[in-house]
Amino acid sequence: MKVVFIGAGNVATNLAKALFLKSFDIVQIYSRTTEAATALAKEVNAEPVTDLPLVSADADLYIFSLKDSVLEGVASQIPSNSGLWVHTAGSISLDVLSNYTSHYGVLYPFQTFSKNKTIDWTDIPIFIEASDSHSLSIIRDIAQQLSDKVDTLVSDERKLLHLAGVFACNFVNHMYSISKTFLDKINLPFEVLLPLINETAKKVHTMSPQEAQTGPALRYDENVIEKHLHLIEDDKIKEIYKLLSENIHRMSK
């Protein structure tokens, strides 16, 4: 199966490498920048492309892994072809590709990816959707070669799942970033947080997050909360602390 990747970011990089390991024939990697196209193309033995008109028209599968805001614009410039077009975005409808091709779908891996961190795909939940049952079965077959957890999900539900991911991943990681600013002030290395971070993630494997909640906000210990607000110098972070504490208390009731 000949595959073209449109995009060379975090998802494209991880997905292209995973498919390459499963012996898919990655023929081209398109990216706006030569650097990104070349870097990924090298790893999966493909041709780097930076001009959309040069995208090959005879591949079987076109995988679009792009920033949401440019996806449709790029899709509209791909030379017409009879391959299956698939995008990997959590928050974009299946239909976004419908004006440009007849067979299309979604393969959404529910995970966070970084270019330089290889990841085991086996337990990544992959949610799929397609324009027609034949396309769906092709996408399912590809997804099942990567993961044991493949399921269909319609666009509207996938958008809510993506939103859930923003909280459980992007916002969680931002909490780590803010936490680090306090450690920096007292010259403690970030490593001191790792057992706490690990245990916090581990706890919700065996209890619900509601049951796992601890801390001054849950008890609404105003004494501690006031002292903490006093310790926080940055106004935005003070506001975040207040809002999250109030909401923890509210949701505990």
Residues 47-106 that bind a second copy (CB under 8 A): 67-69, 91
Nearer to a second copy, 45 or 170 (CB): 170
Q: ∠ CA(224), CA(234), CA(180), 5° rounding?
A: 75
Whether the CA torsion 129, 132, 137, 139 is positive or negative: it is negative
- Residue 248 touches a second copy, criterion: CB under 8 A: yes
Nearer to a second copy, 79 or 171 (CB): 171
Q: Residue 119 forms beta bridges with which residues? A: none
Shortest distance, position 221 Cβ to a second copy, whole Å: 6
Q: Which of 50, 56, 112, 152 binds a second copy (CB under 8 A)?
A: 112
Nearest to 87 by CA among 191, 15, 160, 189: 15
Within residues 192-221, the interface with a second copy by CB under 8 A covers 192-201, 203-219, 221
- Residue 113 touches a second copy, criterion: CB under 8 A: yes
Q: Which of 61, 102, 183, 253 binds a second copy (CB under 8 A)?
A: 183
Shortest distance, position 130 Cβ to a second copy, whole Å: 19
Assess contact for 2 and 60: CB atoms under 8 A: yes
Burial (Cβ within 10 Å: 0-12, 13-18, ≥19) of residue 217 = buried
